[in-house]
Each structure stands twice: as structure tokens, then as C-alpha cells.
Amino acid sequence: MTSRGGFAHDRRFALLDEAGRCVNGKLEPRVHALRVTYDETLSIATFTLAGAGEARSFRLAEDAAALAAWLGPIVGRPVSLGRDDDGGFPDDAQAPGPTLVSTATLTAVAGWFPGLGVESVRRRLRTNIEVDGVPAFWEDRLFGAAGSGVPFRIGDVAFEGTNPCQRCVVPSRDPETGRPLAAFAKRVAEQRAAALPAWADRTRFDHFYRLALNTRPAGSQAGRCVRVGDPVSA
């Protein structure tokens, strides 16, 4: 855990436009054409542009300017490479902790779309933590009234659930091709409204295109570790 409450290395780097905005799939769909792998130290990134076949490797610390110059034409605007080692670039600055969803929720969402598998939903939502052994939408237990936090633990790390995660356009697109799935957001919103568990605080849904949980650390958790297989208690 970092001192701000995210996972080390999670969104540590970001492409930024001239206004300082993150250039991601939410802002620029051409990002979907990029594939990236990392060496075991997470210091060298190798990018491939879908359909082009050319692979380019960059040292993230030393080659930031060269990487930005190469990526700028691909995403159609001048960009720079931002870096934040203390918590990265979370979407929700008030809830900078890892996002969380249950395996059963992913399975339920996949069932709303014929032919859409669980792995595709998993990649579309891109949550940090997946909890097994609980019912669908169990994570809706982990937020309460606006401004409050619901405490829970994963192993030795203490968190607070803050709000159901507002989704953007990215989950509607195929993770490999970027091709949109028609009426994805509308279908999710309809099903969420119909299937919202009794334990969920309905007042936290100004709209129902919300899936997974945003979190923040409960006090300082810097240096502590969340491990695969850790028990979750709430």
C-alpha cells in the first residue's frame, strides 16, 4: 500500500495532455489500439500498436520524453508522461484506494449480455480486488450514506468503502478491439435498478450505471500488503 492508500505501481504513470488531463480510454478511444507489457521490474514497458506489428520498448524513468513523442501521434494530441509514486492517478481523488468487486457480480453482469464471458467483463471493469465466496453485488454492503465510510479488512489492511463506482464509456468497449457493445450502459443501468439488493443504500445511486466499489484507506496503511487469498472481513 502507498501512503495515499492505493497499490504500489497502480496507475503510477499516466499520459497527460497539455491541460493536465489523463489521456486514457475515457478521453481517447484510440488508446484501445495500444498493447503494453512490462519487464519483471516494472521499469521497462514494451508497446505494440494493434495491426502495426512494431514493438517499441521504453525505460519509463529515463525515456519519458521519447515515449511521449512516440505516443502523441497515436492518440492524436501532444502528451507528456506523468508520474506519481505515492498513489498514482486514481479516477476518484476522494477514494484513492483499490476498487473492489465480487466474482459473482462479474458473472451476473456477463449473464445480461448473450455471448459476453466473465473474463471480458473482468477486463472491462478493471477492478483491483476480486472477492470470491460471496453473492452478486455483495460489495454494495460496503458503502453507506454520503460522506460516511464502511470499515472492512483484507488480511491486515484496513479500508473504508465509500461509494458505488461510477462507470465511464470504457466498459462498453471490447478490451481487444475497442468496438462498442450497443446499449451497454443502458442495459447495466436497467438491470442494476431492478436487481439492487435490499441492503444497498438506494440514495447513493443518482443513476444506476454504477458497478464495483471505491475505497479509501482507514488511517495509514502504507507499506502493508494485500495478498491473493487473504480473507475479507466486514
pLDDT attached to residue 40? 94
Q: What is the pLDDT of residues 119-168, one digit of tens each?
A: 999 999 999 999 999 999 999 999 999 989 999 999 999 999 999 999 99
Q: What is the pLDDT of residues 25-72, one digit of tens each?
A: 888 988 888 989 999 999 999 999 887 778 999 999 999 999 999 999
Q: H-helix or E-strand containing 55? A: strand 55-59
- Ranges of each domain in the chain: 13-83, 100-233
Q: How many CB atoms lie within 10 A of CB 85?
A: 11
**Phi, psi dihedral angles at 156 (to 5 degrees):** -95, 5
pTM of the model: 0.91
Share of the chain above pLDDT 90, in %: 83
Q: Is 233 helix (H, G, I), strand (E, B) or coil?
A: strand
pLDDT attached to residue 52? 75
pLDDT attached to residue 87? 87
Q: Residue 180: how many CA atoms within 13 Å on its side-chain side? A: 12
**Phi, psi dihedral angles at 198 (to 5 degrees):** -60, -25
Mean pLDDT of 209-226: 95
pLDDT attached to residue 228? 96
> Of 61, 23, 22, which Cα lies nearest the Cα of 39?
61
Contact call for residues 36 and 47 (beta carbons, < 8 A) = yes
Q: How far apart, in whole angstroms, are the C-alpha atoms of residue 5 and residue 88?
A: 10
pLDDT attached to residue 33? 87
pLDDT attached to residue 212? 97
Q: How far apart, in whole angstroms, are the C-alpha atoms of residue 102 and residue 151?
A: 17
In the chain, DSSP finds a helix count (H) and a strand count (E) of 4, 11
Residues 6+ apart with CB under 8 A from 93: none
Is pLDDT above 90 for 233?
A: yes
Is pLDDT above 80 for 20?
A: yes
Residues 6+ apart with CB under 8 A from 216: 5, 94, 95, 96, 97, 149, 159, 160, 162
Q: What is the pLDDT of residues 75-104, one digit of tens each?
A: 999 999 999 998 889 888 889 999 999 999
pLDDT attached to residue 64? 95
Is pLDDT above 90 for 198?
A: no
Q: How far apart, in whole angstroms, are the C-alpha atoms of residue 139 and residue 137?
A: 5
pLDDT attached to residue 178? 85
pLDDT attached to residue 199? 85
